[in-house]
Structures are given as C-alpha cells and as structure tokens.
A and B are shown apart, each in its own frame.
Chain A
Amino acid sequence: MQDTLFLILLILAGAIRAGTPLLFATLGEIFAERAGVLNLGVEGMMIMGALSGFMVTVRTGNAWTGLLAAILVGGAIGLIHAVLAITLRANQVVSGLALTIFGTGLSSFLGQKLVGVPAPDTFGVVRIPVLGDLPVLGPLVFQHDILVYLSFLLAPLAWFLMFKTRPGLHLRAVGESPATADAMGVSVVGLRYLYVFLGGMLAGLGGAYISLALTPGWADGMTAGRGWIAIALVIFATWSPARAMVGAYLFGGVEAAQFRIQGTGTQVPSFFLNMTPYIFTIIVLVIATQETVRRRIGAPAALGLPYEREERG
C-alpha cells in the first residue's frame, strides 16, 4: 500500500516535471495567438532553445547563461515569423512550418559535436524549506528544480495579465478585432511583434528545460514533437493560461507513466508506448474541439489574418 502510494506520487511529480516544457511553450503560443498570430513554428523554436541552452552551458559551464541564450534565441527565431507574418503578410501556416523545418535542420547541424557531451551544469532539485517536508504535497509540489517553480508563478501571472489588466485587454483586442484596437490607438503591429517575440522566448525556455533539466544533454530532434503538442494544448486550454496548466500536466502524466511502464519490463512493445502521447493529443483535441464548438468559444477572431489598415481615399 505504502509502495503504491509512493509510486503514484512519483508519477505525479514526474508529470509536473515532464509537463513543464509543454507549459512554457503553451503559454507562449497562447500569447501569440491571443494577439492574432498563429505560429506553428513552436517545435522549431523549442528545439533551437534546447540546443542553444545546452551549447552555451557547455561553453560557459553555467546553466543560467545557457537559459538566457535559449530564451533569446527562441525569441529571435520567433521574430522571423513575426516579420513574415505581420510585416510581409505571408501565409502563417506555411511560415510556421518553415520555422520548424529550419529550426530542426539548424539545430541538427550546429549540435553535431554536442551529441553525447555531458552537461557541466544543470537545474537540480531545490527543496523548499518547511513546505518541502510536508507529506504528499512536499514531494509533489515543493521538491522540484527552480524552473518548475518559475512555471508555477508564470501561469497565474499570465492569466492575470491577460484578463485583469489594461495591457491584457489591448492584447485580446488586437487578436479579436484589430481594426477596433487600431481605432483605440493601440499599435496592432507593435503588440503583435511583442507577443510573437514573447511566445518565442517562452518556447525557447521550454526547449532549454528539456536539455538542461528534464533530460540534460543534447540529442537530435530531442523535443520529439512537443512543440506540436503545445499547439494542440492551446486549443485544449481554450486560449486560457489557467487551463494550459491542466493540459500540460495531463500530458506530462502520460509521458511520466509511459516512462514508468517502460521501466517495469512490460510485454507491451515500446513502439506502442511511444505512440501514446501523439494518439492522446488527437483524442484530447477532438474532445476539446467539441467543447469549444458547443460553448461557442473559438479561437481569437482575427487569428491567422494579417492586418491591413483600410486605406483612406
């Protein structure tokens, strides 16, 4: 009985860790999509974040500098999409795909010599005094690395910013009705750039979490489709940071359970276990879509549409 409880606790704590990179990336994409820009390049930004985070950490020996580099690189890659989608009014679906193909290729190219290199510094567990000693809650919530704590703060903060502040109102206006926002004197282009950049930074942070905390090291294609799962989670979360947390940990749970089951020497071939997150994504997406259709909460009205100010005659 004790053992089972312990195992469940272990899986749940693992779910939070595995869900953290998804949470960062999902929050980032929610910001971009709320501003009306669909960025399907999350996978590309994440993998570049994972690579640059690890690469800089290897060079400097300090994981914090690596993290900073990952955030900046993620943001910079996001800006490519911003220029194409916002200024040049390119097709956002194809531009996002280009970002992913480009990021995957570039990370593989630059990371060639990093495969198998051990991480000189990682984000280890920081046990929070007193709270960390609590039964159940301690190991579940208060015995993680510092980036997990950061994500605990970031999700509610994002929610507050989005729904309770004036900048949040402007953000949502830009995504729902850019013409109105423009008339209100809000810079549609400026805000869209800002939030696509922020989205890229958060995706880069999520990527760095994978290469510096979750599974320290670099491996080709190590984000393994998490960027795409994050995009699905945005729909699951109905563009709300609070629900993003639920979704991210749900997927983290699938990943953690899969890892545990693999460790037990089960008869189920690993190929089927490896399929589960992707099949699960499809199932969750179907359910989430039904809910959004039923409750009539859809994507931001101007999502994916470039903004063109009506010319005055």
Chain B
Amino acid sequence: MKLTLRLERRLTPSRALGFLIPVFSIVLALCFGAVLLAAVGKNPGVVYQKMFSGAFGSKFGLTETVVKAIPLMLSGLGVAVAFRMLLWNIGAEGQLQIGAFAAAGVALAFPQAPAAVIIPAMMLAGFLGGALWASIPATLKAKLQVNEIITSLMLNYVAIYWVEYLVYGPWKNPKGYGFPGTAPFSPAAELPRLGASRVHLGLLFGLVAALCLYFILRRTKWGYEIRVIGENPTAARYAGISLTRNILTVMALSGGLAGLAGMSEVSGIIHALQRGISPGYGYTAIIVAWLAKLNPWAIVVVSFLFAGLLVGGDQLQISMGLPAAMSNILQGAVLFFILGGEILVRHRISLTWEK
C-alpha cells in the first residue's frame, strides 16, 4: 500500500478558490511573520496590533495609507498591463524615478506658470519620462530579442543614481543647507490636497487609470490583442497580431503609469526632487499586481492593503525600533503563498491509497 498524491486538472478554474487563496495567503504570511517575530523575542500579537493600528487605527494613519496607496496603484496598474502580455517589466522603480525627474524638471524650469498649465505639463512630462525609460528595454526586446527582465531591472539602478547625481550636484538647492534635494517647487506646481491631510489629487489619477485600463483591456481591440498575446502567443502570431508593436506600446503605457506615480509623489507630497523618493514602490507594485491577478479594480483594493503594510512597518520602526524591512518580509511571504496556492485553482488534489 502506498499513499499517492495526484494532481488532476480542473475543467474550469475554481472561482471560489481564486478569491480564497489570496486571503489565505495573507493569513499564512502573517503566521510566518509571527513565528519569525517570536524567534527574535518579540510578541507577534503586540507587533501586529501596532502595525494595524498604525496603518488603519487613526485618522493620520488612515490618510497616510491612502497617500502610499497612490504610487502603488499607479505603478501596479503599469506592471499589470505589461504582465498581461507576459512582458516582464520589473523596472517600475526606475520608471517612477525618471517620471519624478522629468516632472520636477518642468516644475523647476517654469516657476511662474499657473497651476492650470504647469500641472498638466508635469503630468505629461512624468508620463513621457517613464514611457521613454521603459522604451529602452522594450526596443531592445522588440528589435533585438534582449531579455527585458534584466534590462528593465538594471535601468532601476541607473535611474536612481541619475536622480542622486542631480540632487547632490547640478540641481541641488543652493539654499538647502547641503541637503540633497532641489529647491521647492512653486505653489502652483503642487497637486491640490484633500483638506488638511496629505492625500492629494494623485488618488484620482490612480482611479481614472484603473478605469481606463479596465476599459482598454475589456472593450478595445488593443486590449484584446494584449490578452490574446498573454494567453496564447502562438494563436496571436497566427492571427497576425504584431508582437513588436504591442511590446513597444504596452511597455510605454506601463512605464508611463509608473512615471505618473513619480510625478504625483514629487508634486503631491515632496514638492521637490529628492534622494529616496520611493521606498521601493516599484517592487511592491509587482506583488500588488500579482496578488490582484492583474485585474485593475483588484489592484486599487490591494494597493490600500499593501500601503497599510508599509505604513504599519514604518510605525514599528518608530515605536518599537524594529526594522521597516518587516513589511518586505511579509510582502515576499504573501507572494510565496499565493504562488504556491495557485495550483489549487487549476488542479484538484487527491490523496489515494494504491496497492
């Protein structure tokens, strides 16, 4: 007698599990984190309670969570549209930085311009900056078949050093007491905020972007092509769908959204270009997109959840002296459990005794 584990393909993927697995993944990741915290001598209950109340328990925490959800949402949507056609853009972090750089350049070049002109100009610059940065790996992939995973990732480092060069060098604020950052933008170049909170108009960008992406993917020929390429590349080729054109356009859209995230950070929050404008939003966005199964509306929801995780992690650092990296560990663990659980959506597991 031998106990054997068999995997049988389901005829249709289980919808219920498709929803339950992300939820269970988060629970399991929190359990894993609890074990880790206990191992380093911290009470997991206290830590999680602090994280939760830090992120959602006060008006300040709640608005900070919304603030951090904005860049996650925008770059998560960007990552998702590329992943939809199996285009592995992991350069959202760099595209965000270049978008911030381009938007800041516009703001600093035209300090006299009124808000009605400068804000749209910065949005355009941020989007184009991110799109152009993403078009480097896209062009290399489309024309020369160079692996986009590595090139898009390498450009993250280049973009970060570029911004650092500017804020320590030619763009440094002469009146900044040596602080690595540009001079503050003119008030016209600041995105309007909601009341006294730091929540800014970028939230609307994110929601509109989700709506647009949903519309593109569901209702347009372009979106149809993206989905066909992603689900069946061979069929796409026989149907005469141009892979080259779609790689270039989808990457531009993907990078553009991340660039817009960078623009909304400098225009909505920092009001200058600085070093360290992103604590890795571009990487977290990848997890957000995957957890949301690349669905635009789900990305909006998951962005708030992960933003809460980031805010909670910051709270831990402030109040308990625990490294904020705790939220990175939880992010990675959530992704592990989701990836592991996905097989259950498509397969049925049966344990049988065999002679």
Chain A interface residues (CB < 8 Å from chain B): 40, 80, 83-84, 88-91, 93-95, 97-99, 101-106, 108-110, 112, 225, 228, 231-232, 235, 269, 271-272, 274-275, 278-279, 281-282, 285-286, 289-290, 293
**Nearest residue, chain A, Cβ from B333:** A102
**Nearest residue, chain A, Cβ from B136:** A282
**Nearest residue, chain B, Cβ from A280:** B154
Cα separation A92 to B268 with both chains bound (whole Å): 37
Contact partner of A278 (CB less than 8 A), chosen from B157, B330, B331, B342, is B157
Q: Other than A98-B336, A109-B329, give 18 A-B pairs with Cβ distance below 8 A.
A: A84-B340, A93-B88, A95-B339, A97-B335, A98-B332, A98-B339, A105-B326, A105-B327, A110-B40, A112-B323, A231-B150, A269-B169, A272-B165, A279-B158, A282-B140, A282-B154, A286-B140, A289-B147
Question: Closest Cβ of chain B: how far from A313's Cβ, in Å?
Answer: 13
**B152-176 interface code vs A (CB 8 A; 1 in, 0 out):** 0111011001101100110000000
Chain A neighbourhood of B168, CB < 8 A:
269, 271
Chain A neighbourhood of B335, CB < 8 A:
94-95, 97-98, 101-102
24 residue pairs A–B, Cβ–Cβ below 8 Å: A84-B340, A88-B339, A90-B342, A93-B149, A94-B286, A94-B335, A98-B332, A101-B331, A103-B332, A104-B325, A105-B328, A105-B331, A106-B329, A109-B322, A109-B329, A112-B323, A225-B154, A271-B161, A271-B165, A275-B161, A278-B155, A278-B158, A281-B150, A286-B140
Any A CB within 8 A of the CB of B47: no
Question: Closest Cβ of chain B: how far from A175's Cβ, in Å?
Answer: 17
Contact partner of B325 (CB less than 8 A), chosen from A98, A105, A225, is A105
Check if B161 sits within 8 Å of A99, measured CB to CB: no
Cα separation A109 to B40 with both chains bound (whole Å): 10
B side interface size, CB within 8 A? 44
**Nearest residue, chain B, Cβ from A93:** B88
Chain B neighbourhood of A80, CB < 8 A:
336
**Nearest residue, chain A, Cβ from B150:** A232
**Nearest residue, chain A, Cβ from B328:** A105
If A272-B161, A278-B158, A290-B144 touch, whether A83 touches B88 (CB-CB below 8 Å) is no
Check if B328 sits within 8 Å of A108, measured CB to CB: yes
If A89-B343, A279-B158 touch, whether A235 touches B147 (CB-CB below 8 Å) is yes
Chain B neighbourhood of A279, CB < 8 A:
154, 158
Question: Closest Cβ of chain A: how far from B64's Cβ, in Å?
Answer: 21
Contact partner of A285 (CB less than 8 A), chosen from B88, B147, B322, is B147
Any A CB within 8 A of the CB of B90: yes
Question: Closest Cβ of chain B: how far from A44's Cβ, in Å?
Answer: 8
Chain A neighbourhood of B333, CB < 8 A:
102
Cα separation A105 to B339 with both chains bound (whole Å): 18
Check if A90 sits within 8 Å of B154, measured CB to CB: no
Question: Closest Cβ of chain A: how far from B33's Cβ, in Å?
Answer: 10
Check if A228 sits within 8 Å of B154, measured CB to CB: yes
Check if B146 sits within 8 Å of A225, measured CB to CB: no
Check if B161 sits within 8 Å of A88, measured CB to CB: no
If A90-B342, A232-B150, A285-B146 touch, whether A269 touches B331 (CB-CB below 8 Å) is no
If A275-B162, A282-B155, A289-B144 touch, whether A101 touches B328 (CB-CB below 8 Å) is yes
Chain A neighbourhood of B161, CB < 8 A:
271-272, 274-275
Instruction: Kindly name the residue among A108, A228, A278, A285 whose own CB sees the greatest number of chain B CB atoms within 10 A.
Output: A278
Cα separation A225 to B152 with both chains bound (whole Å): 13
Check if B339 sits within 8 Å of A286, measured CB to CB: no
Check if B157 sits within 8 Å of A109, measured CB to CB: no
Closest 3 CB pairs of A and B: A102-B332, A105-B328, A271-B165
Any A CB within 8 A of the CB of B151: yes
Check if A286 sits within 8 Å of B165, measured CB to CB: no
Instruction: Kindly name the residue among A93, A103, A106, A282 whose own CB sees the greatest number of chain B CB atoms within 10 A.
Output: A282
Chain A neighbourhood of B164, CB < 8 A:
271
Contact partner of B323 (CB less than 8 A), chosen from A109, A231, A232, is A109
